[in-house]
Chains A and B, each alone.
Chain A
């Protein structure tokens, strides 16, 4: 494989797999934030 093929391969894999992994991480962080906020709210109410 020459350099341009490697770059192209990494570009496609990067967009699709990289994009997917980025979205998963974003969703995990948001879920964590939501559950933290929910916990804080409960503490305040209590």
Chain B
């Protein structure tokens, strides 16, 4: 029986927004916009928000509210016992991401501390600074710190932990971003960045890669199809709305991406003496180039006052740390809720997940190539998770799901028949297209594309997915029998 619920709509919305808003909104979005023709990218990005993210977020909200179970139980109750392995895969993908995302959160916290202490500005060679940090043992300590903070929140429960912390962190994140926004757009020459950001180059719109990148950005950064929103939705009250809240999350997340994009483009175009576009586009090790190498150099040039530079740099890394932490908290909660569904107490489950998360994240903390491998394998795996969620809805009966669950009591907006077409046909087709594109592309950047021990290729993805799927498939009956629906 569910014992804890979010106390209000705003507690639920801010907590769920905390899932969606992560480091991807801040460092990945700007880079992808720069690589895909600036303003042109924004057109498919808006379209996919409407036909991928929002329908999947609606589905996750409904699955969580209806089943009151984490992904495994939700799949059993909607798709049937035979498909418990699918729910287990969805839960595993987000948990595998948690192992290295905690390391990434640790990096953000480290740079926040370095910025606050002024240590970040004692050097002008930020590439060397990053390399020295990431090649040592410090990432393990910060990874440990991130796991402890996240687990403490989960240990305290839904109302006193998740809701309270997200209300504070997400609100502060928005305020900090608004202050940075005000400063960034008033920098000299910032208009050039804004101009690039919003100028559509129509030739890019006929490039299928721009569309696939826009879909990928929506799949990765709105949290749709991860199983995380589903988990938080298990704690929403019966009278709580689904459709309006889900739309708020989708639009809220992309609003923050837009805000962060304007900040980054204005800052880099205003302060960079080199090719600004190239600086935003470069990904660097583990896609960190812009955030940990370029931006600290630019903050140094923001004004002649070290205090001003330190303040704005600290605010940026504070926002980044908050964004990362709120997402990490939801990943820990998904793993903990899964154990709770197996009959474990929250406190015991939290201690186990914290310990496992720390131990299994150590390889990624020590070896950035391993982190990149895990990011590749499970990042693309998320598309499969999204497809599985659409499968569960379709197996239950798409229209039945819409009428009996989404449009049930408490809903402020009634969802029309468009939902049927999107979940039945569009989402599965998009998932197949996206998955095929990423996997086929990976054969072109690695000659030994079949080698499962390479960093980013088809072989390593299929190899790791198959291991996980086969294990869950073999133990499907046992898993299903252990979860009470």
Contacts and interface: CB of A to CB of B under 8 A. Distances in A.
Interface string B38-74: 0100110010010000000000000000000000000
Nearest to B239: A34
Interface in B351-405: none
Contact of A1 (B191, B244, B247): B191
Main secondary structure of the interface of A (DSSP, over half): helix
In this complex, the interface size class of chain A, counting residues with CB under 8 Å from chain B, is: 10 to 19
Nearest to A13: B258
A12 B244 contact: no
Interface stretch (B193-201, B285-293, B297-305, B425-433): B193-201
Nearest to B245: A27
Interface string A17-31: 101100110110011
B248 A16 contact: no
Interface in B258-316: 258
A9 B39 contact: yes
A17 B177 CA distance: 14
A6 to B, nearest CB: 8
Nearest to B251: A20
A30 B244 contact: yes
A27 B255 contact: no
Contacts of A5: 39, 195, 198-200
Contact of B412 (A12, A15, A20, A30): A30
A27 B198 contact: no
Contacts of A9: 39, 194, 197-198
Contact of B255 (A8, A20, A26, A30): A20
A26 to B, nearest CB: 7
Nearest to B49: A16
Given A12-B198, A16-B251, A16-B254, A27 B39 contact: no
Interface of B: 9, 13, 39, 42-43, 46, 49, 191, 194-195, 197-200, 241, 244-245, 247-248, 251-252, 254-255, 258, 412
